[in-house]
Structure 1
Amino acid sequence: MKLILASTSPYRRELLTRLKIPFEVCSPEVDETPLTGETPEQTAYRLAIAKAKAPAKSFPDSLIIGSDQVATLDGLQLGKPHTHENAVKQLTMMRGRSVVFHTALCLYNSRTGNSQAREIPFTVHFRKLTDAQIEHYLFKEQPYNCAGSAKSEGLGIALIEKMSGDDPNSLIGLPLIALIEMLENEGMPVI
């Protein structure tokens, strides 16, 4: 049985390589627009399932991994900034505050139709950053394709006061602890 990562994220791909099991990558081609009235947790959960199921016809005998992440500050969804100006706005709002990253994971068995899905929250407490620190960080790392405008696996760690959650990998976008359990449930043990 093949293992497929339905994601174009280089961060998720790098995380999955840590498990030392062969996998292929495909683009899930899913509209990531939140639905009206949907909470950030619901958005991440729905999209993870949609991403795992989207390529099922192309991979009929596979375990397909879908994942999605939504960052929230006081219930307000923080998307990918895409521009320097938006990243400055996000980091300015986040300084001295806590942001919850809702990362959802789905493992879909395209042979049996069985799916396992879970949302794993991770909280990041940001330091009280100055405007100069924010600009300096953005100039050096340019995290414009990351929810919340920061990469904890890079220089973004300097923005963080503390972190709390069950799996630090969920912050980067792929909760490996939950994924290992899901793979074992499908008869694909990692070790």
Structure 2
Amino acid sequence: MLVLASTSPYRRELLQRLRLPFECARPEVDETPLPGEEVAPLVRRLAAAKAGAVAAARPGDWVVGSDQAAELDGRILGKPGGREGAVAQLASMSGRVVRFHTGVCLHGPGGVFAAGDVTRVHFRTLARDEIERYVDAEQPFDCAGSFKCEGLGITLFEAIESHDPTGLVGLPLIALAGLLRKAGYALP
């Protein structure tokens, strides 16, 4: 059985694109960054920890773990949690390039495979009223970076640079498909 170590509806919708049967399981993982931990190692560590936590309870299954964080000026931008946090995050990213790091790990009986991706999002210069209209319309409070690129959030950007556009949503399917092939899955 393939198991997604996540309860994120965004990751679940992405994994459904591969048309493989899977289940979802909540990973019990502390997502606190380690002292001095940089963003890329953080998301890879958390992806592996999520996959490993669920795999420990499901021997014989292949488990997918993923994590994402935004980086601006060397600091991590997490989920905003509410309206004011989202408005502040988007204001801080206005006219800037923000790096979104995504880690993915496949853990199972045949080994552990991992990959990572970086997406660079070029934000337009955003007026406060634009930001507030967007936040009120889409309420992206559970999204790193305070936007949903698969929705109205696309209007906030000048450009997106990525090897894997699904990485920005939280589960890099190009990388994951490669990991699944290593594990013996036939795709498509």
TM-score by shorter chain over 0.5: yes
1:94 aligns to what? 93
Bigger shift: 31-40 or 51-60? 51-60
Kindly provide the CA deviation profile for residues 26-49 of structure 1, in whole angstroms up to 9, marking residues without a partner as x.
Answer: 001111000001001111010000
Bigger shift: 38-47 or 52-61? 52-61
2:18 aligns to what? 19
1:170 aligns to what? 167
TM-score calculated relative to the size of structure 2? 0.98
Aligned length: 188
1:137 aligns to what? 134
Residue 79 (structure 2) pairs with residue 44 (structure 1): no
The amino acid that maps onto 1:185 is: K
C-alpha separation in 2, matches of 1:54 and 1:118: 18
TM-score calculated relative to the size of structure 1? 0.97
1:187 aligns to what? 184
Alignment partner of 2:143: what SS? coil
Runs of 4+ in structure 1 over 3 Å off: none
Kindly provide the CA deviation profile for residues 60-97 of structure 1, in whole angstroms up to 9, marking residues without a partner as x.
Answer: 11110000001001211100000111111110010010
Whether the aligned pair in 1 keeps the contact of 2:123 and 2:158 (CA below 8 Å) is: yes
Q: 1:122 aligns with which of 113, 119, 122?
A: 119
Alignment partner of 1:101: what SS? strand
C-alpha separation in 2, matches of 1:183 and 1:133: 41
- Give runs of aligned pairs for residues 46-85 of structure 1, distance below 5 A: 46-85=45-84
Q: Unpaired runs of 5+ in structure 2? A: none
Identity of aligned residues (%): 53
Whether the aligned pair in 2 keeps the contact of 1:180 and 1:189 (CA below 8 Å) is: no
Q: What is the deviation of 1:57? A: 2.9
Q: Unpaired runs of 5+ in structure 1? A: none
